Amino acid sequence: MGPINVLTGFQKLLPTLSLLALTAIWQGVAVFVNSHTLPTPYAVAWVLWQAIASGQLPYHLGVTLLRLVTSFTIAMLMGSAIGILLGRSRKLDAFFDNWLVIFLNVPALVTIILCYVWLGLVESAAILAVVINKLPNVIVTVREGTRALDQDLLDMARCYGFGKRKTLLHVIWPQLHPFVMAATRSGLALIWKIILVVELLGRSNGMGYQLHLFFQLFDVASILAYTIAFVVVMQLIELLVLKPLDKTAQRWRR
């Protein structure tokens, strides 16, 4: 019993240890290089604290998160609806499949530039650019899920007169859930990277705008501080929102 307990206790510490190791390596390299382009962890922590205390970081982070939530919600809702339609109708799918392939392969940067050129440097253009980048992804994933729907259960719902709402809620949605979760995870990762570019190119606030500013000043400590803040927020979303959602939706599995 003893050695096993020690081992599992040690295993629990491993994630913390690995973070400490990473910080230690960073510290070592920073001291060795001794350049203002690679500040030490301590210097970055100090900048981070000051940015938070001044309200600058919370403001820009909040702006970016708001854009993320808005564009993500629009992309997921539209993508799920279109994905279900295409998965259910062979004709629609045959017609729109080419569109999907094209939009999947247009580089994110091109969409962003075109949106700004056509709509001007406005908020709606920024949101639209992110949505267009994410939408095809959601459609394809949800379409796959819809194609895999269990026809036996759909027949059961039909013969018991479930109606559209009940069928969607109790028969189709639970089967699509894993696919939607996959689209959510890959979507958040994709969107927040795209959003920074969108902000860098055409907005005057948000993380992307700030990073651009720091780049012009060669202020690496601020760049790293903002990055850390963002990574932490994304991890919190995973832990506090996505994981619990997964758990409730999967409770029926053995």
Partner 1 sequence: MAAVNILINNKTYLAAGRSVAKPAIVDFSLTLNPGEFVCLVGPSGCGKTTLLNIIAGLDQDYDGEILTAKANTSPKIGYVFQNPRLLPWRTVRENIELVLDSQAPASMVDELLEMMQLTSVQHVYPERLSLGMSRRVAIIRAFAVNPDVLLMDEPFVSLDAPTARQVRELLMQLWQRRPHRVLFVTHDLREAIALADKLVFLSASPMTVVREMAVPIARDGRTDEAAIEAFRQQLKSGYPDISGLL
Q: Is 174 in the site for partner 1 (CB under 8 A)?
A: yes
Site for partner 1 in 235-254 (CB under 8 A): 249, 251-254
Work out the end-to-end distance of the chain between its first and last CA atoms, rounded to an integer number of angstroms.
Answer: 29
Radius of gyration of the chain (CA): 23
Q: Rounded to 10 degrees, what is the CA torsion of 182, 185, 188, 191? A: -50
Alpha carbons 228 and 90: distance in angstroms, whole number: 46
Binding letters toward partner 1, positions 115-154, x by CB under 8 A: -------------------------------------xx-
Stretch that binds partner 1, among 105-113, 137-145, 155-163, 224-232 (CB under 8 A): 155-163
- Judged by CB under 8 A, does residue 90 bind partner 1? no
User: Which tokens go with 201?
Assistant: 């190119």
**Is 206:195 a contact under the CB 8 Å cutoff?**
yes
Give how many residues touch partner 1 by CB under 8 A. Answer: 18
Region binding partner 1 by CB under 8 A among candidate stretches 77-85, 93-101, 135-143, 160-168: 160-168
Q: How far is the CB of 253 from partner 1 (least distance, A)?
A: 7
Q: Which is nearer to partner 1, 160 or 215 (CB)?
A: 160
Is 158 a binding residue for partner 1 by CB under 8 A? The answer is yes
Of 155 and 238, which has the nearer Cβ to partner 1?
155
Cβ nearer to partner 1, comparing 91 with 254: 254
Any idea what the Cα angle at residue 79 is, between residues 76 and 85, rounded to 5°? 140
162 contributes a contact to partner 1 by CB under 8 A: yes
**129 contact partners, CB below 8 Å, separation of at least 6:** 111, 112, 115, 116, 194, 198
Q: Least distance from C-beta 148 to partner 1, angstroms?
A: 15
Nearest CA to 135 out of 114, 111, 165 is that of 111
Among residues 200, 217, 216, the alpha carbon closest in space to that of 208 is found at 200
Residue 210: C-alpha distances to residues 140, 204, 222, 251 (Å): 34, 8, 9, 42
Q: Which stretch binds partner 1 (CB under 8 A): 9-17, 76-84, 159-167, 228-236?
A: 159-167
Query: In angstroms, what is the minimal distance from the CB of 157 to partner 1?
Result: 9
Interface segment toward partner 1; rule CB under 8 A; list 63-71, 169-177, 182-190, 231-239? 169-177
Amino acid, single-letter form, for residue 102: I
* Contacting positions for partner 1 (CB under 8 A): 152-153, 155-156, 158-162, 166, 170-171, 174, 249, 251-254
